[in-house]
Copies of this chain bind each other. A is one copy, B any other.
Amino acid sequence: MTSAPTRLDPALVDPATVPASDLAGLCAAICDVESVSGAETDLADAVEAVLRDQPHLSVHRDGDALVARTDLGRDRRVVLAGHLDTVPLTDPPNLPVRLEGTGDDRVLRGRGTVDMKAGLTVMLALAIELGRPGSEPVADLTYVFYDHEEVEESRSGLKRLAANSPELLAGDFAVLGEPTSANIEGGCQGTIRVDVRTRGVAAHSARSWRGENAIHAAAPILATLAAYEAAEVEVDGLVYREGLNAVGVRGGIAGNVVPDACTVTVNYRFAPSRTLAEAEAHLRELFTGYDVEVTDASPAARPGLDDPLAAEFAAAVLARTGGTPRPKFGWTDVARFAELGVPAVNFAPGDASLAHADDERVPVAELAVCRDALRSWLRGA
């Protein structure tokens, strides 16, 4: 049995009505197409169908990733990007989404509402609207919907696109739809994980003076971590708060053996003022005399708000939303755009601290705030 391709309700994606339409309804429709990492095809099909209906967009598909572009001959190009996948549902499932509350306090609750189908809703609404006669944007636009963001980096759909078709990701500035509660969050911290190891000499614990205890030898490592004062670093006007943490420790093989090995796994989240190499050097200096092995690392991204287009974007958004740009602490794909040479910020509805939470929920009002702020900037209004 082959089911019909998943399609979104035509009424929700009607070009004639989408600017005024209920964005909550569109968001709910997107959320209710399950798209746990590795099973994004239904949602990719549905989004592709909507994009291909827009005569002002040319659409490219790569696996379950989609790139849709205007080609209006503008001298600047803005990329709007977001991932299609979500983390797994809860048990019982937190889908379909539920609309709760009334008026301005309405929230949409369920898997993906925050991370990041509210962002996809804003992207899709703009993709339908901007480029139609009478709604021309001042910049050319590229919409990137991609798969496999919530899993190991090697499976990333955006990474695959960047390898297969880097020209499709080119742009002067990118807005990533990761949740920011409708604030501009610039750049992202880098992250590096290292194993710091001690060695000793095994012995029976009844004759422990014949051995050297590798766990005891780790005492200065933990003392260094406990005493470490994480820096707060200003980069392009945003203050990043770093963090240095043991995220694991293990040692010992039996209850009567002086252990000859102990490993402390340390995660350093560092500000965009440091390169990955500098972050590693900092750790090696902190743990001089110990065996230090890097097990995982991703560079930070500068906020890029000193870029003229970014500054213009920030001014336009903030004129509508109030507030000031903030640093992004978690790692996001803005770092990947930065590596591609595209300055990028995070901007979308939803509280990032609810991402992946069982009670994930987004304020409906933020959908319109984000859509309207982006629309007015992109239309030069």
Are A247 and B256 touching (Cβ within 8 A)? yes
Are A219 and B209 touching (Cβ within 8 A)? no
A248 interface residue, CB < 8 Å from B?
yes
Rounded to whole angstroms, the CA-CA distance of A216 and B219 in the bound complex is 10
Q: Which one, B205, B251, B330, contacts A243 given CB within 8 A? A: B205
Q: How many copies does the complex hold?
A: 2
CB-defined contacts of A217 to chain B, threshold 8 Å: 226
Given A216-B222, A219-B225, A225-B219, does the pair A255, B247 have CB atoms closer than 8 Å? yes
User: Which of the segments A135-143, A153-161, A258-266 contacts the partner chain?
Assistant: A258-266
Given A216-B245, A256-B267, does the pair A331, B206 have CB atoms closer than 8 Å? yes
Within 200-219 of A, Cβ neighbours of B (below 8 Å) are at 204-209, 213, 215-219
Are A255 and B193 touching (Cβ within 8 A)? yes
CB-defined contacts of A8 to chain B, threshold 8 Å: none
Are B243 and A209 touching (Cβ within 8 A)? yes
Rounded to whole angstroms, the CA-CA distance of A19 and B296 in the bound complex is 70
CB-defined contacts of A329 to chain B, threshold 8 Å: 206-207
Q: Which one, B215, B223, B241, B245, contacts A219 given CB within 8 A? A: B223
Are A247 and B254 touching (Cβ within 8 A)? yes
Please count how many residues in chain A sit with their CB below 8 Å of the partner chain's CB atoms: 47
A340 interface residue, CB < 8 Å from B?
no
Given A223-B223, A248-B252, A259-B246, does the pair A189, B206 have CB atoms closer than 8 Å? yes
CB-defined contacts of A249 to chain B, threshold 8 Å: 215, 218, 249-252, 262
Are B269 and A208 touching (Cβ within 8 A)? yes
Are A216 and B209 touching (Cβ within 8 A)? no
A257 interface residue, CB < 8 Å from B?
yes
Are A213 and B246 touching (Cβ within 8 A)? yes
CB-defined contacts of A222 to chain B, threshold 8 Å: 215-216, 218-219, 222
A191 interface residue, CB < 8 Å from B?
yes
Q: List 21 A-B contacts (CB under 8 A).
A: A193-B255, A205-B243, A206-B243, A208-B243, A209-B230, A209-B243, A213-B226, A215-B225, A215-B245, A215-B246, A215-B249, A219-B219, A219-B223, A222-B222, A223-B223, A246-B252, A247-B259, A249-B252, A250-B250, A250-B251, A255-B267
